[in-house]
Amino acid sequence: MELNTLKKQLQEHLGDGLVLIVGSGLSCAEGVPGMAALGHHLVTHIPASLSPDDTKLWEDIHPLIEKDGLEAALLKYAPSASLEAAIVQSTGEFIANAEANIISEVFNKSRTLRLTKLIPHLLKPDAGIPIVTTNYDRLAELACEEAGLGVDTMFSGHFAARLDPQDSYWSFCRSVKLVGKNVRYKFAMKANVFKPHGSLDWYHREGNPVRYAGALPLPRLIITPGLNKFRSGYESPFDKHREKANDAIDKARRFLIIGYGFNDDHLETHLTPRIKSGVKTVILTFALSPKARDIALENKNVIAAEFREEAGTSGACFIVDGAEIFYPGVDYWDLDGFVKGVLSA
């Protein structure tokens, strides 16, 4: 396929009914540590003050992290509640430190987030742009605000926000007009950000979730990889965010999937069947996971791009109509390159 023909297809993809699925690959591209770096951090930073039982369990887990990866290790040995709390605390601190450095660069104008560059090219439906992310960091939320959008996370309040989807929804209403017998509401442009794995700014307060932007010496509400995430995913606020994420996926007319490897069972019950049913899909990532590659090769409604180097030349390998094509000197697999090369061309 000619590159210009491909670019036209990609441009036309960003139409009505688009849902963004954002995985850890996009945060990694901005400098947030990935799963391998997180695993290494946990091996070296889980406190020595664990109980004897947790210490024994951790001695089984941590060699597997370096060998098989964090998720595989935690799937083999489900951590106890107290060990999981230590993992959550260390994970939250590690991600938050990296996030703070990135946000500082955004604030002092030395960095513009990739997602911020994409948003001007997207349609802005009255109901908001749906963004489903498995990431704990707040870079998606920040990117939207930097692009001039409001962000609806279903929490209401600025300082100690409570989970109140209705109150959050109506907070974006800017005017009410009676037209004949019909009431018309005008809403501010916004993104609806759904975070089924939790967020760095979610905490528990008296048994209820609360959103607070600063760091607190309290357990963050984030779901770590492994068996326990299935249990945790059915508790508040994860349940509400998972439900809304799945609803957005079920109603999508097209997907733009950025840095996501199709390895999350919470989303996969809805996302992959929708893609297989024929929903047009574009996948951008540094390296396609085995599951993502299979989906792209087996479904002709999917276009996928990843980084590739052939004969010393860097470029992008696209899967289009189930076949692989290498385009030298092209970086459309990276959202930055996609915006510059496809949408701004």
Overall pTM surpassing 0.85 (yes/no): yes
Helices 238-251 and 265-276: angle between axes, nearest 10 degrees: 10
| pLDDT, position 260 | 96
| pLDDT, position 154 | 97
Distance CA 291, CA 288 (A): 8
Q: Scanning the structure block, which residue is given the tokens 């929490």? A: 155
The pair of structure tokens assigned to 229 is: 């995430």
| pLDDT, position 263 | 86
Q: Where are the domains of the chain?
A: 3-31+112-343
Q: Which amino acid is at 264?
A: D
Distance CA 115, CA 140 (A): 7
Residue ranges in the chain whose pLDDT is less than 50: 230, 233
| pLDDT, position 228 | 59
Backbone torsions φ then ψ of 310, nearest 5 degrees: -130, 125
Burial status of residue 211 (CB atoms within 10 A of its CB: 0-12, 13-18, 19 or more): buried
Q: Is residue 237 reached through a cis peptide bond, with omega within 30 degrees of 0 on the bond before it?
A: yes
CATH number attached to the domain at 3-31+112-343: 3.40.50.1220
Distance CA 84, CA 225 (A): 10
The pair of structure tokens assigned to 139 is: 């870079």
Nearby residues of 314 by Cβ (< 8 Å), 6 or more positions away:
307, 308, 328, 329, 331
| Strand partners for 284 | 258, 305
| pLDDT, position 241 | 95
SS3 of residue 328 by DSSP: strand
